[in-house]
Amino acid sequence: MRAAWNRAGSKTIAVALAVLVTAALLLASGASPIESFRLIWQGSVGSGPKAADTLMAWVPLVLAASGLVVTFAAGLWNIGVEGQVVMGAIAASWVAREFHAPSAAVITVALIAGIIGGLLWGLFAGVLRVYGKVNEIFGGLGLDFVATGLVVYLVIGPWKRAGIASTSGTDPFPKEAWLPTVGDKLAPIAIVLAVLAVIAVYFLMRGTFFGLRLKAVGANPASAYIIGLSTSRYLLSAMAICGGLAGLGGAVQAIGFQHKLVPAISGGYGFLAILVVLLAGFRASLIAPIAFFFVMISVGGTQLSLRLGLNSSLGGVVQGTLVLLTVLVGGWQVRRARQRVRLEAEG
């Protein structure tokens, strides 16, 4: 009970501090905080098209973040998630460009290709970690850049637009490969996939032996190994699941939102997803709302540059400040609890 109160308390303190910091930054740049918050709200959920934008940005973020819940449970720092999003997008783009069939078939194959692309890239980092003892943080980081390099190479090289090589992206995919939309942008299939992913990960971690064992491996690999769990199999599975979900996010981003391959296809959602999961305290149940809050800030934040002439990076500053403060305040409370325990022990 006390733990729950403390957790809620630390969140409140962190949020309050983050709001203060944001307000101070806004005031310092000569903008009214109230007006800014109103603009963010209106720019993200204030109208139908805006809400569609926000939801479509929410999808890859939620997909990557649910995957990360699994890798974090296994004790893995899957910074390679960004590259896994990218590889999913590349694989889906390849299908969208090369595979000519009825729309439903193209889309299905493209989404599956996205899952496989991300999954393989995740497994790659996993294999490097398990069999090569390459720390997944640095291996994953390396693979992120390799994936990003590959996208740029494809966009200006083999997949360049007819005649001109430009970093603005490939030619748009054939219409059959686009996810069907309601209105201009909202693709219900994408939303459904994201919701399913979050629910699946929630139950995977709460209600299955696999989830339980995965957590055992993450909490203490040595003892998990002693009681007979194949540590490497669980680590590889976690990387594969996360890679697959992130790859699906990339696929949705490619065939559901951009409709072409662009160098910045990941949209930074992989890295942002790490922040979401940190803020969620690694719990699947909090992923969806926190991710929605984050994309509200990102999408709505663009209004601040349009209307108030502020730099659009403010959204990122708010997200970063919030997560940093949450992590620090949380650590501070744990430290105080530790000291209290020590004092009581000493009488």
Partner 1 sequence: MDDTIATIIAAAAPLIYATMGETIAEKAGVINLSLDGSIMLSAMAGFALTYITGSVIVGFLAATAVSAVIAALIAFASIELKLNQIAVGFVLTLLATKLSSFLGTAYVGVKGTHVPHLAIPGLSDMPFVGTVLFNHNLSVYGSYVVLIGTYLFLYRTRRGLELQGIGERPEAAFARGIAVNRLRYIYTVIGGALVGLAGAAYSLDVKFGWRENLTLNFGWIALAIVIFGGWHPVRVAFGCYLFGTLQVVALKLQPVEALQGVSQILPIMPFVLMIFTLLIVYLDWFRRFGDRHPAWRRLLASDPPAGIGRVFERE
Residues that bind partner 1 (CB under 8 A): 25, 29, 77, 79, 128, 132-135, 137-139, 141-143, 145-146, 148-149, 152-153, 156-157, 165, 271-272, 274-275, 278, 310-311, 313-317, 319-321, 323-324, 327-328, 331-332, 334-335
- Closer residue to partner 1 in complex, CB, 52/151: 151
Name which of 117, 245, 111 is nearest 179 in CA terms.
Answer: 111
Pair of tokens at residue 307: 């209307």
Burial of 133 (0-12, 13-18, 19+ CB in 10 A): exposed
- The least CB distance from residue 137 to partner 1, in Å, is 6
- Closer residue to partner 1 in complex, CB, 52/310: 310
CA distance 277 to 287: 7
CA distance 234 to 246: 18
- CA–CA distances in Å: residue 100 to residues 70, 109, 173, 176: 35, 11, 11, 8
- The least CB distance from residue 101 to partner 1, in Å, is 30
**Number of C-alpha atoms within 13 angstroms, CB side, residue 114?**
33
Pair of tokens at residue 187: 């693709």
Pair of tokens at residue 8: 């809620």
- Closer residue to partner 1 in complex, CB, 24/182: 24
- Closer residue to partner 1 in complex, CB, 256/267: 267
- The least CB distance from residue 81 to partner 1, in Å, is 12
- Closer residue to partner 1 in complex, CB, 49/331: 331
Q: Supply φ then ψ for residue 160, to 5 degrees.
A: -65, 155
- The least CB distance from residue 232 to partner 1, in Å, is 14
Pair of tokens at residue 110: 């493209």
- Closer residue to partner 1 in complex, CB, 43/256: 43
